[in-house]
Structure 1
Amino acid sequence: MAAAPNRALTVAGRALAWLALAVGLFMGAAWIGSSIPRNSGWSEPATGVPIMVETNGVHTAIVMPLVTPQKDWRGDFPASDLGQPDRPYTHVSVSWGERAVFLDTPTWSDLSPLTAIRAAAGGDGLLHVAHYVRPAPSQTARRVYMRPEEYARLVKAIERQVVAPDRRRRYRGYEDWDVFYDAPGRYHLGNTCNQWTADTLAQAGVKTGLWTPFAGGVMKWVQLPDEAPAATH
């Protein structure tokens, strides 16, 4: 009678071993992929258009001035879509991710295993847009200077992800200063939110990693500031 439970334990042990091996291989591949540079000859200019690459440890986003000679983002991301439209916003933070993860997980503790598995298998994309007032560089929001022509390419790359206001749905954000919009693209393990950040920076010509499924793979290419005051919204 003990043979069946023993076989079940053996099968379960082997399944766990294969799962651990798969996770280990994925983590190793992610580390290697994020260490392979794109635009390896790029160097940051001393001055230019200042952007920031920000992270919460899991997710990354690109923070840009709301208005520059290259782009006025107010037409694409109007403050009237926000809960607090009258604040003196100066910057906009843009990121891309999986629809259900964005909309159903206001905090990471709300992320269920089923939602995570479904996202990894493939899900619809969504843009997350947050509006900031004079954000300061910090450990988690690192400033990068871009040449005007590089920033223009960054703008074009992001514009390709923006659905026209009259053809998209808007979804309430987590706070009064952020919002979600419909966006093209399919999320999966090979095309994560952090991969979107790296791909967008790479299209502008900035040096970044080849495959960056995790936030650390993006942030390790961005220099830390000398001083790190907290950013404000």
Structure 2
Amino acid sequence: MAAVTRVAKALAAAIVLLVAGYAAAGLVGGAIPLNAGWRAPAQGVTIYVESNGVHTGLILPKVAAGVDWRPLVPARDLADPRYAAFDHVAFGWGERAFFLETQTWADVKPRTILAAAVGSEATLIHVEHLPRPEPAADVRAIVLRPEEYRRLAAYIAASFAPHGAHHRGYAGYDTFYDARGHYDAIRTCNTWTGQALRTAGVRVGAWTPFPVTVMGWF
């Protein structure tokens, strides 16, 4: 029994160290700037980065700088197509089971988190049709040059699976689409957001696994 207790304590200590190491590495990676010389222009396309405390995403105008999202995320895919009249659309990438089985954070189960952290090829894009948001603590505005915005849009569009299915969302204004990409503890939903911004040329952390490592730059 004593030996079992020692093994259990050692395992618990190893898990604590692993989690602490992951958290520390994420914060360090998020503090290292890429595109360090980037500065927002005085005029351009305004986008928004949002966070619910665990997950980050991007809110973009439906039509701007030659990019029109309406053919990719049409009204007919919504449970209530009237919401497609809103002029902005939010994009977030993540693991399929985590998205579909956790409508609220109260629904999150340890097995779902563990399965996603270990790795999954089943990923989705969550799309919400929204009015233009007001900047707030959890919604930050970013102004991009048209060419930066088009690079961002190309990255997001490339994250959709070709000819992928769409799935019913949580409410009338949102839906899910099959996505490309492998999800794990290294490439999280927040890493996807950070990579989208880095691809556009925006100054953001080198590795952004947590919401604070994204939101802290804006």
Fold in common (TM above 0.5): yes
Which residue of 123, 126, 146 maps to 1:125?
Answer: 123
Which residue of 117, 137, 140 maps to 1:139?
Answer: 137
Separation in 2 of the partners of 1:146 and 1:134?
16
Question: In the alignment, which residue of structure 2 is the partner of 1:203?
Answer: 199
Which residue of 167, 180, 183 maps to 1:184?
Answer: 180
**Structure 2: where are the runs of 5+ without partners?**
none
Which residue of 2, 18, 21 maps to 1:6?
Answer: 2
Deviation at 1:155, TM superposition (A): 1.1
Question: In the alignment, which residue of structure 1 is the partner of 2:113?
Answer: 116
Separation in 2 of the partners of 1:69 and 1:201?
17
Question: In the alignment, which residue of structure 1 is the partner of 2:92?
Answer: 95
Please, what TM-score do these two structures have when normalized by structure 1? 0.90
Paired residues in the alignment total 216
Matches within 5 A, 1:29-108: 29-87=25-83, 88-108=85-105
Separation in 1 of the partners of 2:24 and 2:65?
42
Deviation at 1:29, TM superposition (A): 0.5
Deviation at 1:162, TM superposition (A): 2.3
CA-to-aligned-CA distance 1:145-203 (integer Å, 9 cap, x gap): 00111111111111211234xx2111111111010000111101111000000001100
Identical aligned residues as a percent: 44
Larger radius of gyration: 1
Give the match's secondary structure for 2:191: helix
Give the match's secondary structure for 1:131: strand
Separation in 2 of the partners of 1:162 and 1:19?
35
Deviation at 1:92, TM superposition (A): 0.3
Contact 1:70-1:151 within 8 A present in 2 as well? no
Separation in 1 of the partners of 2:20 and 2:36?
27
Where does structure 1 differ by over 3 angstroms across 4 or more consecutive aligned residues? none
Separation in 1 of the partners of 2:19 and 2:37?
33
Matched, 1:173 2:166: no
Which residue of 144, 148, 151 maps to 1:150?
Answer: 148
1:209 maps to amino acid: G
Please, what TM-score do these two structures have when normalized by structure 2? 0.96
